[in-house]
Structure 1
């Protein structure tokens, strides 16, 4: 795409952020435009729309890279294994390199290890071993409770420490924290494989790889933990939900603004490209892709922790993942469901969500 055309496209879409936000909230019965709460919700929804526009239009122009004819064969092989059967036991985490780092006053370890995700053979090169990374903040001395926190799309960097309120959870609640970096994020951004992108097969393989890595981290911390909590944000929620359905050594699981159907969710936001995205949107929305994506469906497995130790935080005005995934997961899981009345990004700044999180973690000790 010509740089001038892209600039015009970005300008047009940014100009529509506020009108789209007002239009969305205008259909909400409880929205009062000129109240303080109403203006905050408008700001949060507009923030979702702005972030989506930026994430979508700063990526390469969409193009199809997948042969649709291949999808039924891949899906059939995965279906024969079944969801649980597609996830083999992870190999033990063996530390390859430790780099000690600082973010503000907080010291942490950047741990690198070689990991083979042991994906089904049908994924071919998408399942090859690669270097994985987990950031760790821990107290000296004996066993502590551990929180394994899995970030969202476009994250996996030092901002995660603020988003997850790592310093407070570490100091006030006494937790050690492990923060796996998902493939294609943070320091892994320039390493293969790319994830997520517009290749539906690559997206499934990428999430399955992330599940394997989180399971390896879980098994690594469990012997030194008083309790283990798994927590995922946005893109990380599917990873955490699946890991919690496969691992026994987990005492609590929390999901924040969960997503469903990674490929279809990406397709839902490509309209910002206009007609240039029509072919890719059609592919990602195709029934064949939906069937393939079933192996990473968070609803396909139930966590092995008691219902009282399951928590979901949804955003009522979520413009990224929408509210349906939180509702469906709560119906499947039971446990506790809390609603933030603002948006996907806005819940990150909510004092109420912070209080709910701390109460949940304190209850696992």
Structure 2
């Protein structure tokens, strides 16, 4: 795989098209649904060759080198998308009457309070948690802690969808995995992606033990709403992110609230601690919001980050052009913008801003999602890797990029960053 580029990219990759298959729950041919990921990946590969041979492109995205590895990454992303659609099927059009009514009410609710024009006011700043429980676990010669406390999050009074959100009782308590040294150290808070929030998976994908043992960092891995242990007891179809726009709004607001409470706990435990964010996918979206609300972060590393959930989910709904459910996306656009980092100004210092993304990403489109955020953040250090959305965890260039970012930001010293390459997979 090609190494990420730390300088501003010069050329553009081929435009990737939205999936065209019909949504789950429609009368789509099951065989066509199964074949469609292969067709879309093949179409992407053909366009990649066309762009590569023609040297075409526009904007700031490097041209993707059309290798078989690139094609396999695109296919894997398409299969993941198909799996998510099967796991999270769209409701019938009639069910969208309630969703659309809530959206319409919410747009007016937010407009009256001025939050569509000034979104920072929507995100309430929490206090440090007081009812903190910490339990230690030892396996072999390694010990980690499990932090938990009452979230304390509640939607704004009379906010549409509030009572339904509060009925998801698994969200009422926040959890975080903690790896810390006996003496004060800088902290790296790792914000996970969709379908994560499980200890073993998060420790592996964030290479948390390597960050802790080899780079000398304290590491916190908070669990986002509706994920991991917070996903228990949910009614059928309740997911974050998902088709229910107001659940996505409350999920975003609570995710930001909960991680800010983890940050407040760290600062109470270790005043003056340097803190950085590392993030993946949905976590990159949450981290970009955090970095626009918290003015005392050393760095924020955004991995394959979406910049607008409503646009992202609309792109992957696979709805025919005449499907009435498309109206939901149109109605929700003001809300999607309100909870987007593109509507806030980053507060993390310019030298602490880092973004990495895959040139063949079929889930978070590099041009439609990542480049917008990169431009909004002042075109910071960016790493483009030769792979798809799900390929970051096995891409050595990504591993090197993250460690270099930690050193450049000052969270890790250059001496600590000089580790044997064999440790990269830990």
TM superposition score normalised by structure 2: 0.76
What does the per-residue CA deviation read over 1:290-320, in whole Å, with 9 as the maximum and x for residues that have no partner? Answer: 1122221111112212111100112111100
Q: Name the residue aligned to 2:147.
A: 111
Which of 297, 300, 317 is matched with 1:250 structurally? Answer: 297
Q: Indicate whether 1:125 and 2:157 are aligned.
A: no
Q: Tell me: higher relative CO, structure 1 or 2? Use CA pairs within 8 A at least 6 residues apart.
A: 2
- Distance change (3 Å), C-alpha of 1:278 and 1:155: farther
SS of residue in 1 equivalent to 2:52:
coil
Q: Name the residue aligned to 2:20.
A: none
- Distance change (3 Å), C-alpha of 1:47 and 1:67: closer
Q: Name the residue aligned to 1:330.
A: 374
- Distance change (3 Å), C-alpha of 1:317 and 1:93: same
Q: Distance in 2 between matches of 1:163 and 1:178?
A: 14
- The within-5 A match list for 1:150-161 is 150-157=191-198, 158-161=200-203
Q: Distance in 2 between matches of 1:278 and 1:109?
A: 49
Q: Indicate whether 1:48 and 2:77 are aligned.
A: yes
Q: Name the residue aligned to 2:14.
A: none
- Distance change (3 Å), C-alpha of 1:353 and 1:199: same
Q: Distance in 2 between matches of 1:57 and 1:114?
A: 33
8 A contact 2:311–2:336 mirrored in 1 = no
Q: Name the residue aligned to 1:17.
A: 37
Gaps of 5+ in 1: none
What is the Cα deviation at residue 353 of structure 1?
0.8
Gaps of 5+ in 2: 1-24, 55-64, 412-426
Q: Indicate whether 1:58 and 2:87 are aligned.
A: yes
Q: Name the residue aligned to 1:78.
A: 110
What does the per-residue CA deviation read over 1:87-108, in whole Å, with 9 as the maximum and x for residues that have no partner? Answer: 1121312344334346786432
8 A contact 1:116–1:127 mirrored in 2 = no
SS of residue in 1 equivalent to 2:148:
strand
8 A contact 1:242–1:298 mirrored in 2 = yes
What is the Cα deviation at residue 261 of structure 1?
2.3
- The within-5 A match list for 1:133-282 is 133-139=175-181, 141-157=182-198, 158-191=200-233, 194-223=239-268, 224=270, 226-271=273-318, 278-280=323-325, 282=326
What does the per-residue CA deviation read over 1:131-154, in whole Å, with 9 as the maximum and x for residues that have no partner? Answer: 111111111x22111011111111
CA RMSD of aligned residues (A): 2.7
Q: Distance in 1 between matches of 2:215 and 2:293?
A: 27
8 A contact 2:190–2:219 mirrored in 1 = yes
Higher strand proportion (structure 1 or 2): 1
Q: Name the residue aligned to 1:315.
A: 358
